[in-house]
Amino acid sequence: MKALPILAGAVGMAFVGGSAAVSGRLADAPYLTVQSLRYALACLLLLAWARWTRTSLHRPRGTEWLWLLGVTATGLLFFNVALVQGSKHAEPAVLGVAVACVPILLAVGGPLLEGRGPAPRVLAAAIVVTLGAGLVQGLGRTDGVGLFWAAVTFACEAAFTLLAIPLLGRHGPLGVSVHTTALATVLFGAVGVLAEGPGAVTRLRADDLLAGAYLAVLLTAVAFLLWYTCVARLGAGRAGLLTGVAPISAALTGMALGGPSPQPLVWLGIATVSAGLALGLTGRAQPSPAAAPPPVPAPPPSPASALA
C-alpha cells in the first residue's frame, strides 16, 4: 500500500473536519450565493493548476454529464441543503454521526461499482471506524424531521464518492474536480437567485467573503483534488475509511481554537478510528480499476432516487 494516496485522503478529510468553525461564520450570510462564489473561485484555481501542470482536461460526453450532475446535485447542493435544514431540527452531533456511517456504505458500494466484491477486512475496518467516529461526535437530540435530514446527509455524502467512480478513469481527479465545481457554481447560483434574490451578493460582508475564500481554496480546490486522488489510487472502499479523520480533525481544531479539551470518550473514539484505519489500510490491497477508462457508463440514479 502506497503512503501518498493515504496521506492525500487524510489531509483532505482533515481540511473538511477543520472547516466547521469557518462554515459556522456564514450562518447569517446569503448562504447559497456564497457557495456559488466559493465554487467559482475553486474552479478557477483548479483550471490554473491544470494549465500550470499541463494536465489535459476532457470535455464530458454522453452519460458522463449525468454522472457529473449526480455528483454535484447530491454531493454538493443537496448535501449543503440537508445540513442547513437538519441543523434546525437536530444537534450537530446527529448529522455528524450520520456522516460517520459513510465508510460502511463505501466499503460495500465502492467495490461493487469498481467491478469486484467487498473485502471483508475493509468492511470490518469500516465498522470500527464508524464506531470510533460516533464516539468522537457524540450523540445529540433530534426529532423525526431531523432524522430524515440526517439520512439525506448520509446519502449525499456517500454519493459524492460513489457517483464519481465511473468518471475517474477518463477524467482523473483534476478533471472530475473541475467539472463538478463548474456545475456547482451554476446550480448554487441559480438556486441562490431564486431563494435569496439577485441582489444577495451586495449583502455580503468582508468576513463572509474571507470565509468563502478559505472554503474555496482548502475545502474545495485542495480537498477535492486530494480526495479524488485517494479514491482513484486506493479504491472507494479503503478511501472511505479516511472519512473517519474528519471528526477527529474537528475535535482537535476546536481545542486548538480555545475550546475545551476533548472528553475521555472522544479520546477513546480517536483511538478506535486509528485502530480501524490500521486494520483496513494495511495488508495487500486489490488494485482499483479507476486507473483504466471504464466502459461506457450507465446513467446514474436521479438525485431523488439517490436520496431515497
Task: Give the residue extent of every domain in the chain.
Answer: 3-306
What's the pLDDT score for residue 294?
44
Question: How many C-beta neighbours within 10 Å does residue 231 have?
Answer: 32
* Helices and strands in the chain, H and E counts: 16, 0
Enclosing H/E stretch for 287: none
Enclosing H/E stretch for 264: helix 264-281
CA atoms within 13 A on the CB side of 262: 22
Task: Point out which residues pair with 90 in neighbouring strands.
Answer: 142
DSSP-derived letter for residue 202 is: G
What's the pLDDT score for residue 301?
45
What's the pLDDT score for residue 295?
45
* Cell matching residue 164: 464519481
Task: Point out which residues pair with 142 in neighbouring strands.
Answer: 90
- Rounded CA-CA distance 72/180 in Å is 6
Contacts of residue 245, defined as CB under 8 A and 6 or more positions apart, other chains included, come to 9, 10, 13, 14, 17, 273
Q: What is the pTM of this model?
A: 0.84
What's the pLDDT score for residue 3?
86
Per DSSP, the three-state class of 154 is helix
What's the pLDDT score for residue 191?
94
Q: What is the pLDDT along the chain (308 residues), one digit of tens a residue?
A: 578 899 999 998 888 877 766 666 776 788 899 999 999 999 999 999 999 999 999 999 999 999 999 999 999 999 888 877 777 777 666 777 777 788 999 999 988 887 888 899 999 999 999 898 888 877 667 778 888 888 888 899 899 999 999 999 999 999 999 999 999 999 999 999 999 998 999 999 998 899 889 989 998 999 999 999 999 999 999 999 998 888 888 777 767 767 677 778 888 988 999 999 999 988 665 555 554 444 444 444 433 333 22
Cα angle vertex 15, ends 66, 268, to 5°?
115
**Contact assessment for residue 219 and residue 68, using Cβ atoms and an 8 Å cutoff:** no
What's the pLDDT score for residue 307?
29
* Cell matching residue 224: 477535492
What's the pLDDT score for residue 106?
92
